[in-house]
Amino acid sequence: MTAAFKTWKVLPHGQLSQVAENIRTVVGDIPMPVGQFRRRMTVVRLRDGGLVIFSAIALDNDEMQTLETWGRPAWLIVPNDHHRLDAGVWKARYPDIRVITPAGAREKVAETVAVDAVSADFGDPDVTLIDVPGTQAHEAALEVKSPDGLTLVLNDVVGNIRGESGFGGWLLRRMGFAGDEPHVPGPVKAAIVKDKAALAAQLERWAALPGLQRVIVSHGETIEDDPQAALRKLAASLG
């Protein structure tokens, strides 16, 4: 893993885009020896105007101003110990933000930023933080209700990187991070997934949730075309 940043370091990124009335996301790049590795930050606005930052990315001044105009950064979710690159600098910028990470990731995350808790009650019935079953509390996810339906925000446990070209794209495929459809990346399966049956059962439960509109992932395209079928196929792949 790249060492966590000590200062607010802005890497190439896009603009915040609206996914649902209370959800925005932005995609940025992490320079790698063979190209760029894309990552996503997801931001959820609570009813009280507080923002839940899921997998933080340092943005430029214009985008940070847009974010701050939309709401107040109140919760910083470090969804696993591999997504702490910008956690410390976000905490430095917003000292009152509460840092939450799953219990299994707490020790490593705490090397970068002080952790306030391993669970969170946002005081909002529309937003729920959960530990992903089968990961021994090493991976967090969000369930978010919006006027248009339900959004599932996942981190590394599901990837959907497609269309990467050149040697970098070839290497991502060889490593199991990229493919032609949503999948549980091989390295993630080896490092994080400790109980395939438990994860498969959770994927099936998510697929059965009424009103599911999309699955946002930290690496790759949002799954919007029949997310229920995609989740069931992912569950079957773990059998």
By three-state DSSP, how is residue 160 classified? strand
Q: Write down the pLDDT at residue 107.
A: 96
Q: Write down the pLDDT at residue 230.
A: 95
Contact 219, 160 (CB under 8 A): yes
The strand pair at 72-77 and 212-216 is best described as unpaired
Say what the alpha-carbon torsion angle 58, 62, 63, 67 is, to the nearest 10 degrees: 110
d(CA 165, CA 219): 16
Q: Write down the pLDDT at residue 111.
A: 95
d(CA 218, CA 54): 9
d(CA 201, CA 177): 22
Kindly report, residue by residue over 142-183, the tens digit of the pLDDT.
999 999 999 999 999 998 877 665 655 655 655 656 667 788
Backbone torsions φ then ψ of 100, nearest 5 degrees = -125, 135
Q: Which of 142, 164, 124 is nearest to 217 (CA)?
A: 142
d(CA 104, CA 82): 12
d(CA 5, CA 87): 8
For each successive 10 residues of the chain (239 residues), what is the average pLDDT? 87 96 95 74 98 98 98 98 95 98 97 97 97 96 98 93 61 61 83 94 97 96 96 93
d(CA 43, CA 54): 6
Residue ranges of domains in the chain, CATH in brackets: 17-237 (3.60.15.10)
At 14, the amino acid letter reads G
Q: Which of 48, 74, 43 is nearest to 59 (CA)?
A: 43
Residue 35 CB coordination number (10 Å): 16
